[in-house]
Structure 1
């Protein structure tokens, strides 16, 4: 009896082997299990963050997609969350809506349909999630609040889900409310009713894609609301949750997280939160914003994706550390596996989780990320210490008979600056169900019975290159695979391929701005529509564009160079802007608000401008001052 008591005490107390500090950790399923694991995912959108990916030529485009989605290859993501385009700026650009107007439906706009199909092609079991950030103006009847017309908003979202199935054979499994905005209980209930009425009872609702509160307390007080919501989704929770969320017994997800520059500190952030979101907050899914940094780096939050693919003109891309940190979990545990109750923090810093499929397989993921090497962009990270340590893991219950574990390791090696990621080590032999690890700082280990893990690779991509010094597009695409022209990144408004048969002049194939009503915005859109192309370079350059104003009375067009801002900051963009208006006047300004005027006058008197018809607009910026060249009508 005394020996048994001593053995139990040893489990919970620090013991010393020689002069090395050790701690025993028990991995046991005999007393029950924890929550069901729902997966690790990436978020495409929330600001046109995959915009440049579709422009990559093969085979590089497929290689990038393999690193993201292919099972047992790279990140091997379990979940893909996409923005339901709303024609408005949502961080780094706009994504087109499937319904620009109330009598308009088109389920081939944008690239999210294509991306979901490519993900599904690689992983047929991937979970697909949709969430609106903004809505076309007609949804709000001119108001910036979609909940004033909940039936219209619900119908709009449900049509997107039905269109995904009808036109692309895509099953959307989860749908959100409105990104990082106040929720409306009446709308959530009506959305549930509208889904069910359209045979979409299988589609689950996530709320509120913002904070744990006040949605969690509301679910406890409102049974009907609780029945409508399946998942409580919080953004950037800092690995913690609240008591009310736990009391609901709902699935708890970090439905948007990470959002951090994807250097090695960013990889450390991702490693820490993937484990500690469950250890500290019982979150069973974590979704990275964003999926892939495939937008101009000068836009907000440049390079915040799991990997970088921002140069379709060169074919260059970079497989960043977060890809391999993701693989430590995703290649060795699948949705439907269950966390063990015996998970937690390591005695000298770091954390460990363990998952099982209920059929004898076990996966253990350990991280020892230090504070300064795992800082995420948000929220602030309180101080903590991590030091080297020896850890002894004792397998109990159904795992006691395991004799060998596969071992994968990542070492950030911040001191030597010689990191190694997702290395397969010699399998570890267990003695009486026990194994010992010497854990250094800033490491990630996976120990698993799963033998299918693989560090996939493709031939090296082409070298990085700047945006071409000479670039031209005549939009002559008869059957465009996407609605946007290559490398153009819409920042306010939506520019789409358009075959102009009504008044073609010299141009039949064109790029046309199609939004005529201010959307229900999520951030501060500019008052003028704008699409950018190329990286920001203060250099001598010439911009030439054939333009056509469909109205002979109002409005105008502009071309610009050296534009310094985009995304959610586009409203305050500076640069050199050449404006031509339908009333025959022109302006040259340093800003998008047409306040800092460098030159102005009557276009018709100076350049012979034709108010209605095709016009060549040309702007030359040289030295430190713009040089205005004339616009001229086509012969």
Structure 2
């Protein structure tokens, strides 16, 4: 087949983003260029004067893909479910959306096609975006049906039977080693977890120690011995899932430790949340004889993190000989007030509406996972930097161990111009048709992601390719790649009233939409003489924490935009202490999950009660308090917290015990909470709406700052700056959402974007009806420009009075979520 000449391209479906020639055509072009250069030289000599003419085209980067080249065995690209409850809401999604999302994550030839999945071994403690339940809350009481990670692994295996599974602890129940993770208790605990995996028909391929909390070399040796002795000799140990390559140094110093572990896994090898331009390991790591993994990377937005992901997958191997890349996390199936609400390769924040979104990161990942498989081998001679320059981009080549198939993945994230690549294939590899797929990472159009381009027919194993800046390309002799077609429903709020009696669930499972953030709340048979099922807080003592902040047990449910409502529940304390109802819950800090923007009704077994407020800074206030009849233990009582505007009212057993006025929090979720180690049961949850839940005119309050969208200095002039300021009820803070998608203030001025670019100033201007004055108010709390598609953003994630507001790429930050009056 004759290919178009580079100098006279035939446009593809995406314009001239890919240009291909055979080696023979390229030689013809070279002869023509040399001929014209000779003519120009002759003219120059005849004229006797300096004549300027265009420089010859830059020489193509030559890449020889030699199947005999040395290289390490590829282990896969995947992600982490855990490190904090980030998959929680996926379990509650309706069909077909739940299966669609799982297909996009794991199904070969459909989406991200993950090849490895690491899961959290739950420890009843917060590990970033939530807490995951332990299989053994108390010593010896093993329950293999708790939580959702078993389900998640089974779903991944059903779609890709070859996916590799990894287990790792972030925290653990407090009974282990009397609070010391590096104990024989934790070894027994992990082996019990492996037994649970077996009971679910799952084989765990790799097991780690304690995430990002150092290492105890003797413990790893003992773990290896215990695994061998108890039927798990095939489980490989990863050490130590921390920062740096100290485990490789230890493996060289301590041969017994080196013999115990199979993989040296390091986190954020390119730098934490970096652009992932340079990803070295260490000389000791490379020379240790151990498999090297980038065992946690990412922590980036599902779209904005795509360029870093594209660099890192390639450069981890080129720079540091790492053969696996694990992104944190798999997806963000959490509500938008929770830390890291848009990280992963997809978001799934609304099981009640079925809404989800697949990010550009999924398609960047697919460029490796859909064209390779664990067991393939990197070809070192066909992996490197384009033109020897990191700024041009990188490429890696891998080959099948059983056939002549090969794939080359190219990224040009930082390139400034198009580049010609000249390929020669040798060493027993296929010289047949080459298929080309591309993703324009700089484009916001989903149609530009994972696009099948025109095939190349090599000539004597040679062909050329012109690559454009800001792209990922896969060139491959494999077949079977594809792009899923399932689409998401629209976003929507969780309607009130809402109620749950908890009788429809299997014992040990989470109740619908209830997401734990410390401790473990799960469905059990009711106590206290009550029939049916209840939610019980299961953690009986302080856990081995992973976060620096030691929160008490709490779980949240609902829509972050719920505003005025009464939340009520039945509660039974099993031991002395207190239980709490939570209202208008908003953000918390992942290092200090105890610091939650929320109101609480706290009632203790001795009858003491209080209405309280907390903030992300830990500023706890008691707003009202008193004493009622003792609740005691083992007896059922009804608690109710009413939040109506600024009026907060508490009731116990149907009797109002106190009321207070406070306006710190205007909307948010409901929840249950207990004191540390206090076991309690909850039943008959009810959330009843009150009048005035939404009004067309009122304040727009920033979720991150808790300050109001404000016109600077109460100006009514066109161009006046919009900022955040303490809410004060002023006319410059009262906004009306019109039927024309405008947000007006003073009745005649519109919220106006100076341009449609990220970083554009937002101001007020006389209403014109223009698209730059039209806004979408979304169910997740974001406000996006109709013209730009960008989010209304508090500059620099600032929280101080006077911080300006503008447009920015939507990234899930709390500075991009707004609460309307």
The reply to whether TM is greater than 0.5 is yes
SS of equivalent residue, structure 2 residue 88 = coil
CA distance change for structure 1 residues 108 and 349 in 2, over 3 Å: closer, same or farther? same
Match of 1:365 among 405, 409, 415: 409
Deviation at 1:525, TM superposition (A): 4.9
Hey, which bits of structure 1, 4+ residues long, moved more than 4 A?
14-18, 416-419, 592-595, 608-612
CA distance change for structure 1 residues 611 and 202 in 2, over 3 Å: closer, same or farther? closer
SS of equivalent residue, structure 1 residue 629 = strand
Whole-Å separation in 2 of the counterparts to 1:303 and 1:556 = 34
Asked whether the equivalents of residues 528 and 635 of structure 2 are also in contact (C-alpha less than 8 Å), the reply is: no
- 1:616 match: 638
SS of equivalent residue, structure 2 residue 60 = strand
Whole-Å separation in 1 of the counterparts to 2:442 and 2:634 = 63
- 2:648 match: 627
SS of equivalent residue, structure 2 residue 437 = strand
Whole-Å separation in 2 of the counterparts to 1:478 and 1:574 = 30
- 2:234 match: 202
- 1:349 match: 392
Deviation at 1:103, TM superposition (A): 2.1
SS of equivalent residue, structure 2 residue 302 = coil
**Residue segments in structure 2 that go unaligned for 5+ positions in a row:** 1-22, 35-54, 271-278, 656-821
Asked whether the equivalents of residues 395 and 409 of structure 2 are also in contact (C-alpha less than 8 Å), the reply is: yes
Alignment of 1:466 onto 2:490:
no
Deviation at 1:258, TM superposition (A): 1.1
- 2:108 match: 71
Number of equivalent positions = 592
Higher radius of gyration, 1 or 2: 2
Deviation at 1:211, TM superposition (A): 2.3
Provide Cα deviations, 1:103-123, integer angstroms capped at 9, x if missing partner: 211000000111111111111
SS of equivalent residue, structure 2 residue 222 = helix
Whole-Å separation in 2 of the counterparts to 1:462 and 1:185 = 50
- 1:246 match: 286
Match of 2:427 among 391, 397, 407: 397
Whole-Å separation in 2 of the counterparts to 1:475 and 1:22 = 69
Provide Cα deviations, 1:127-159, integer angstroms capped at 9, x if missing partner: 111001111111031x3x311xx2221111111
Using CA pairs below 8 Å that are at least 6 residues apart, which structure has the higher relative contact order?
1
Whole-Å separation in 2 of the counterparts to 1:132 and 1:422 = 35
Whole-Å separation in 1 of the counterparts to 2:407 and 2:262 = 27
CA distance change for structure 1 residues 169 and 609 in 2, over 3 Å: closer, same or farther? closer
Match of 1:429 among 457, 463, 485: 457
Map residues 251-400 of structure 1 onto 2, 5 A cutoff.
251-263=291-303, 265-342=304-381, 343-347=383-387, 349-358=392-401, 359-370=403-414, 386-399=416-429
Match of 1:587 among 603, 607, 610: 610
Map residues 49-88 of structure 1 onto 2, 5 A cutoff.
49-88=86-125
Report the TM-score when normalising by structure 1.
0.89
Map residues 114-193 of structure 1 onto 2, 5 A cutoff.
114-141=151-178, 143=179, 145-147=180-182, 150-165=183-198, 167-193=199-225
Map residues 490-501 of structure 1 onto 2, 5 A cutoff.
490-501=516-527
Report the TM-score when normalising by structure 2.
0.69
**Residue segments in structure 1 that go unaligned for 5+ positions in a row:** 1-6, 371-384
Map residues 533-552 of structure 1 onto 2, 5 A cutoff.
533-537=557-561, 539-551=563-575
- 2:729 match: none
Match of 1:599 among 624, 638, 642: 624
Asked whether the equivalents of residues 576 and 621 of structure 1 are also in contact (C-alpha less than 8 Å), the reply is: no
- 2:801 match: none
Asked whether the equivalents of residues 573 and 605 of structure 2 are also in contact (C-alpha less than 8 Å), the reply is: yes
SS of equivalent residue, structure 1 residue 189 = helix
Alignment of 1:412 onto 2:441:
yes
CA distance change for structure 1 residues 366 and 201 in 2, over 3 Å: closer, same or farther? same
CA distance change for structure 1 residues 427 and 228 in 2, over 3 Å: closer, same or farther? same
Whole-Å separation in 1 of the counterparts to 2:330 and 2:147 = 16
Asked whether the equivalents of residues 574 and 633 of structure 2 are also in contact (C-alpha less than 8 Å), the reply is: no
Asked whether the equivalents of residues 610 and 624 of structure 2 are also in contact (C-alpha less than 8 Å), the reply is: yes
Match of 1:560 among 577, 582, 585: 582
Deviation at 1:351, TM superposition (A): 0.4
Asked whether the equivalents of residues 576 and 626 of structure 1 are also in contact (C-alpha less than 8 Å), the reply is: no
CA distance change for structure 1 residues 393 and 522 in 2, over 3 Å: closer, same or farther? same
Deviation at 1:274, TM superposition (A): 1.2
Asked whether the equivalents of residues 139 and 175 of structure 2 are also in contact (C-alpha less than 8 Å), the reply is: yes
CA distance change for structure 1 residues 472 and 244 in 2, over 3 Å: closer, same or farther? same
Whole-Å separation in 1 of the counterparts to 2:154 and 2:219 = 30
Deviation at 1:296, TM superposition (A): 1.5
- 2:3 match: none
Deviation at 1:594, TM superposition (A): 9.1
CA distance change for structure 1 residues 595 and 411 in 2, over 3 Å: closer, same or farther? closer
RMSD: 2.4
Map residues 450-489 of structure 1 onto 2, 5 A cutoff.
450-458=478-486, 460-477=487-504, 479=506, 483-489=509-515
Deviation at 1:21, TM superposition (A): 1.6
SS of equivalent residue, structure 1 residue 561 = strand
Asked whether the equivalents of residues 616 and 632 of structure 1 are also in contact (C-alpha less than 8 Å), the reply is: yes
